[in-house]
Amino acid sequence: MKRKQRYGYVTNVTKMLSDRSYWDVEHVLRNRLRAAPQFVESIELETELKGHHGCVNCLQWSDNGRILASASDDLHVKLWDPFRHTLLHDLMTPHEGNIFSVKFLPQRGNAVIATCAGDNKTFVFDINRENENPTRRCVCHLQRVKRLATAPRNPHLFWSAAEDGLVLQHDMRVSHTCNQQDSNVLIDLRCYLRTSPEVKCITINPQRPEQIAIGANDCYARVYDRRMLSLTRLSDSREFGELMSPRNDNIPKDGCVRYFCPAHLNSDEKTHIQYFKTITYLTFSPDGTELLVNMGTDHIYLYNINSSRQPVFLELPKLPPKTNGETNGCVGGEKMKHKFPPDVEQLKMEGNDSQERSQYLQAINKYTQAIRMANSKDCAILYLNRATALMKRDWYGDAYAAVRDCHTALRLDPHYVKAYFRLARALLKLEQPKDAQICLDELIRRFPSYAKNQGVLLLGKDIGIELDKQRMLTLEDRFASVEVNYLHEKEMGWRANSFDYEDRFVGHCNTKTDIKEANFFGDSNYIVAGSDDGRFYVWDRHSGLVTAVYKADELIVNCVQPHPYICLLATSGIDNEIRLWAPKSPESKFERKEKNVDGSVSENQARMKIDPFEEINPGQAMCRAS
């Protein structure tokens, strides 16, 4: 009690830390070393680890951060000392297909590792044994096994996710014979998705290991409560190479699973888009409150697990009485010019100038910086300006991002007429003319003097044209490409109740491989991901802006694995080398850091719309087929 009471009067932080245990001090210092912006923003290539003879598909740090494991198309697993840049161990596995995941099993002295591969097999090895044959084998999966997951507090368990739609739970305390009689099936997507579901990635919440998240060949990140799932037997078998019909006894109970999906991809009118998306990687934040999702042919999305966000399309605020200075529904940039602090005003002017010159990426970045610096109560015009630039840029998801900005502007100022107009235009862009018409009607009802406004009349005409088109389409025509008959009723309900993203990160390109990662970096203050252009990208977590771009592979960067304790990053991809990145002195020469960040980002968005197979040459086919 005396110790706790004494802390109440201590103002010297050093004194507080010195009174704690050594582990606490070390933990604080590690986080500082990992999170310091001056470190993250000055990383550069430190070394290349050479030894593999194929694409390096997966990287994994040991729990203590002293060993880096890598696995490759050459079927080898290599263990490295990342600080001496030396090879510690070379394991030739009995896999017969590209290795896609390698994991240290926790609390086993960094000596026991698990692997999975394109041969449908999962192995466990004890590298301390003279005989390097697997200590455990599993061939239960019927398709390629893409990812493994472990939980720090469950040293005996690990999980595998495969393209047969299954997630298996492996218990090291129980012998396994692969006779399909073991109860090891934790999740079976085929029970409620009968369109060849493929599980591409899996992760466990480090703070709440009962939460398990998976990504599949659609746009939904699924988060399950393992305590509400029952292990079942592998009931399917092969017959002439085809899967038999699955049993329905492994459908999750109500309240067991939550779905997370960008709202614009989950709208009724665009359901068919779901079949062109694939989640290539997902991971929980270190504190377990957020889920980061890298979506193929799209962007990176961040979801809040504890305070999940509801989708928003048409949700107009109540109109409070006008205050002094508001005339005829006009605010801010209309009849009464609002003055920001000089630094914010400068950013706003630069954003306006960029938008006038059709440099929409630069305009969006300037408005975003201004919003972060300004008083949130005065930002309505900044949000609307950014919404306008988003609509004009028109990259994937920009129209829905504009809808969200319009709602924010209206929440800050319900009298903002332009925000109603821009919202209606954005809803029309999202192919939701009914909501657009409601929004436009409400604008006219609330601000009658705008009923004959030329812009309002033209928008009304555009909405009318789209409504007529929809009336001409039959229900069968509208959903001709949507396989709704293959969805279980519970699956339809989970999708309908999906939660929306909190933030998104735009700039990389993810179309050519389905193993591309995205991770938290710098104690979650940054986001890092590989890209099809041979670079990896670093975003500021709080603004969503790209802070740095690095050339890290001749073709594609797939893996980006931050060290668990210090500012050190390991990357790999199509090249045979593993590259380590660490902070350098400001006086050092930064050879790998790209100067034209905006150019790289813009090129990637153009690349996203190109068929990835058009650029594949025969020599790269094996690697890119992953």
Decide if pLDDT at 202 tops 80: yes
The whole-number average pLDDT for the span 569-592 is 90
Q: Which residues lie below 8 Å from residue 286, measured CB to CB, with a gap of 6+?
A: 206, 520, 523, 524
Which of the two residues, 345 and 23, has the higher pLDDT score? 345
Q: What is the pLDDT of residue 397?
A: 94
- Do residue 457 and residue 519 come from a single domain? no
Q: What is the pLDDT of residue 626?
A: 53
- Do residue 356 and residue 220 come from a single domain? no
The whole-number average pLDDT for the span 556-566 is 95
- Do residue 506 and residue 569 come from a single domain? yes
Distance separating alpha carbons of residues 292 and 114, to the nearest angstrom: 24
Distance separating alpha carbons of residues 99 and 71, to the nearest angstrom: 6
List C-alpha distances in Å: 48 to 79, 91, 575. Answer: 14, 20, 11
- Do residue 264 and residue 385 come from a single domain? no
Q: Is residue 488 part of a domain?
A: no
- Do residue 353 and residue 407 come from a single domain? yes
Confidence of residue 152 (pLDDT cuts 50, 70, 90): confident
DSSP one-letter string for 547-583: EEEEE--SS-EEEEEE-SSSS-EEEEESSS-EEEEEE
Distance separating alpha carbons of residues 310 and 294, to the nearest angstrom: 20
Summarised one tens digit per residue, pLDDT across range 604-621 is 999 887 754 454 443 443
Q: What is the pLDDT of residue 33?
A: 61
Summarised one tens digit per residue, pLDDT across range 49-60 is 999 999 999 999
Segments forming the whole domain that contains residue 432: 342-473
Decide if pLDDT at 121 tops 80: yes
Q: Is residue 487 part of a domain?
A: no
Q: Is residue 109 part of a domain?
A: yes
- Do residue 142 and residue 178 come from a single domain? yes
pTM: 0.89
Q: What is the pLDDT of residue 242?
A: 41
- Do residue 441 and residue 560 come from a single domain? no
Summarised one tens digit per residue, pLDDT across range 307-323 is 888 998 888 888 877 65
Residues 118/100, Cβ–Cβ less than 8 Å: yes
- Do residue 430 and residue 508 come from a single domain? no
The whole-number average pLDDT for the span 168-195 is 88
Distance separating alpha carbons of residues 572 and 306, to the nearest angstrom: 33
594, containing H or E segment? none
Q: What percent of the chain has pLDDT over 90?
A: 66
- CATH code at position 401: 1.25.40.10
End position of a domain, from candidates 473, 488, 523: 473
Residues 509/532, Cβ–Cβ less than 8 Å: yes
In angstroms, the first-to-last Cα distance of the chain is 58
Tokens of 596: 């034209």
Domains contained in the chain, number: 2
Strand order in the sheet with 136-138: 99-104, 112-117, 122-126, 136-138
Summarised one tens digit per residue, pLDDT across range 474-516 is 554 554 444 455 678 888 899 999 999 999 999 999 999 999 9
Residues 162/117, Cβ–Cβ less than 8 Å: no
Strand order in the sheet with 166-171: 145-151, 154-162, 166-171, 183-188, 232-233
Confidence of residue 253 (pLDDT cuts 50, 70, 90): confident
Q: Is residue 9 part of a domain?
A: no
Strand, coil or helix: what is 405? helix
Lowest mean pLDDT among 447-456, 537-546, 611-620: 611-620
Q: What is the pLDDT of residue 623?
A: 45
Return the CA Rg of the chain.
26
List C-alpha distances in Å: 79 to 111, 348, 514. Answer: 10, 51, 24
Summarised one tens digit per residue, pLDDT across range 321-334 is 765 544 434 433 34
Strand order in the sheet with 578-583: 43-49, 578-583, 569-573, 557-562
How high is the mean pLDDT of the chain?
85
- Do residue 452 and residue 503 come from a single domain? no
> b vs e for 13-35, b when ≥16 Cβ sit within 10 Å of the residue's Cβ?
eeeeeeeeeeeeeeeeebeebbb
- Do residue 254 and residue 129 come from a single domain? yes
Residue 449 DSSP class: G
Confidence of residue 204 (pLDDT cuts 50, 70, 90): very high
Confidence of residue 17 (pLDDT cuts 50, 70, 90): very low
- CATH code at position 571: 2.130.10.10
Summarised one tens digit per residue, pLDDT across range 74-115 is 999 999 999 999 999 999 999 999 999 999 998 767 889 999
C-alpha angle with apex 560: 555 to 564, nearest 5 degrees?
A: 160
Q: What pairs with residue 528 in β-bridges?
A: 519, 538
Q: What is the pLDDT of residue 320?
A: 77
Tokens of 485: 């008959």
